[in-house]
């Protein structure tokens, strides 16, 4: 897939975004040090937009009730209120995918019950923080692109991506595709604005973190583009396939998650230089591309409970596995407790003509192991 559409502007939409951005520069910023994460749209925001009536009772507009939005994001929220349910759902999708990808790891992407979403651990510019930014930003691209296609947003519709050059000449390009062009641009405006509205000293660690977030946000958006494909369908009398139409379609989000997990495993350690640019920390490694994840600091110790980590005590582990999910690595060598657990499951199922299935309930006793 080419990136050429990135240049292909939807002018009216851009104009509104430009106005919003100008507003953030010109108007005095009320709370210059906001706390929390915009990903809170996937937790608190998700509830707000699912049941807006409840929250409309107060005099405050919805967007200022969501904790974690930066001043610029609050303005964009007000300008694009109809997008916010979709953005929240996207952030949530990203968070859930993170939890699935990391379910067997020491850090399991668990959320806390406040506007920081992942707790203090994401203050550390580690590769986990990099992954969390990328997957959340990818989730929003996915969700907005699909919402455009489904006609759920007022400012976008089906994709207007150009016909791929290598598509069979006889096939028709024209089904209603996922609007990844719009999803990409909207997410870029909304997610990145919080980094762009802060000005830090060139070469400072704060600026390093800012650039790291921007880089990983972009890597997440590109992962969605990378996994997007052309899908075609046959039409014609009784499946004769005399007519074939094709369109642009998002891959299931799991594929984006798998892709970003690989990028996490191969993430590049970088540092901020005096000129205010990120550069590779160890010269023998390759310069990361826009699709790669970057991080500034090594991960903290996720084994033991601390101010940034829950530790792995109490986590289920697999006694026979030598991988990360095995009791050896997951429990960090502390050992594990075993207990017998009784599980009930459907078994001996029989199909009866026509049409129902009858099963028995079997109980089985399994050993479960949890880290000490
Ligand atoms: C966690 O505690 C350590 C000292 O034990 C401190 O240096 C560090 O800044 C704290 N981290 C966070 C994110 O609060
Ligand atoms: C992550 O692990 C903690 C214990 O370390 C556990 O309480 C929590 O439920 C786990 N979260 C997920 C999403 O699996
Ligand atoms: C435990 O790990 C082994 C080896 O990797 C695997 O074959 C098995 O399915 C795992 N068991 C569970 C319950 O996940």
At 259-290, the pLDDT tens digits run 999 999 999 999 999 999 999 999 898 999 99
- CB of 308 within 6 A of ligand 1: the answer is yes
Domain that holds residue 346: 327-371
Say whether both 253 and 352 belong to one domain. Answer: no
Q: Whose CA is nearest to atom 7 of ligand 1?
A: 307
Say whether both 349 and 258 belong to one domain. Answer: no
pLDDT at 11: 46
Name 319's Cβ contacts closer than 8 Å, sequence gap at least 6: 326, 327, 336, 338, 367, 369
Number of domains observed in the structure of the chain: 2
Say whether both 96 and 176 belong to one domain. Answer: yes
Per-residue HEC secondary structure of 264-308 comes to: HHCCEEEEECCCCCEEECCCCCCCCCCCCCEECCCCCCCCCCCCC
| Average confidence score pLDDT of the chain | 89
Q: Which atom of ligand 3 is nearest to the CA of 322?
A: 5
Confidence of residue 353 (pLDDT cuts 50, 70, 90): confident
pTM over 0.85: yes
- Tell me: pLDDT of 32 over 50: no
| Boundary of a domain, candidates 279, 295, 311 | 295
Q: Which atom of ligand 2 is nearest to the CA of 314?
A: 4
At 18-28, the pLDDT tens digits run 656 555 554 44
Cβ–Cβ under 8 Å, residues 257 and 139 = no
**CA 37–ligand 2 middle distance (angstroms):** 20
Ligand having the closest approach to the CA of 307: 1
- Let me know if residue 87 belongs to a domain: yes
- Let me know if residue 153 belongs to a domain: yes
Alpha-carbon distances of 243 from 40, 57, 205, 238, 240, rounded to whole Å = 46, 53, 58, 12, 8
Say whether both 349 and 279 belong to one domain. Answer: no
- Let me know if residue 173 belongs to a domain: yes
Pocket test for ligand 2, best of 97, 98, 110 (most atoms within 8 A of CB): 110
């Amino acid at each position: 897939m080419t990136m050429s559409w990135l240049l292909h502007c939807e002018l009216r939409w851009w104009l509104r975004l430009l106005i919003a951005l100008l507003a953030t520069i010109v108007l005095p910023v009320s709370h210059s040090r906001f706390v929390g994460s915009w990903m809170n749209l996937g937790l608190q925001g998700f509830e707000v937009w699912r049941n807006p009536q409840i929250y409309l009772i107060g005099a405050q507009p919805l967007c200022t009730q969501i904790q974690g939005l930066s001043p610029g994001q609050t303005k964009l929220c007000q300008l694009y209120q109809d997008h916010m349910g979709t953005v929240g759902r996207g952030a949530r999708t990203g968070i859930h995918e993170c939890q699935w990808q990391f379910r067997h790891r020491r850090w399991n992407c668990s959320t806390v019950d406040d506007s920081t979403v992942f707790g203090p651990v994401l203050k550390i510019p580690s590769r986990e923080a990099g992954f969390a930014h990328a997957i959340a930003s990818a989730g929003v691209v996915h969700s907005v692109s699909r919402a455009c296609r489904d006609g759920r947003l007022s400012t976008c519709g089906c994709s207007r991506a150009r016909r791929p050059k290598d598509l069979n000449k006889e096939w028709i390009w024209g089904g209603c595709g996922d609007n990844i062009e719009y999803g990409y641009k909207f997410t870029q405006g909304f997610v990145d604005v919080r980094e762009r509205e802060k000005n830090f000293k060139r070469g400072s660690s704060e600026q390093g973190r800012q650039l790291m977030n921007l880089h990983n946000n972009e890597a997440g958006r590109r992962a969605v583009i990378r996994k997007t494909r052309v899908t075609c369908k046959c039409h014609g009398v009784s499946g004769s396939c005399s007519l074939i139409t094709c369109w642009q379609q998002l891959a299931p989000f799991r594929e984006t998650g798998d892709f970003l997990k690989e990028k996490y495993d191969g993430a590049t350690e970088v540092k901020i230089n005096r000129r205010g640019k990120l550069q590779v920390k160890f010269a023998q490694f390759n310069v990361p591309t826009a699709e790669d994840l970057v991080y500034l600091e090594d991960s903290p110790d996720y084994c033991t409970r601390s101010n940034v980590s829950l530790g792995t005590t109490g986590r289920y582990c697999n006694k026979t596995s030598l991988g990360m999910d095995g009791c050896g690595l997951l429990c960090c060598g502390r050992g594990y407790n075993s207990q017998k657990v009784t599980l009930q499951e459907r078994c001996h199922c029989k199909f009866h003509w026509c049409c129902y299935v009858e099963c028995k309930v079997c109980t089985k006793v399994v050993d479960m192991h949890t880290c000490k």
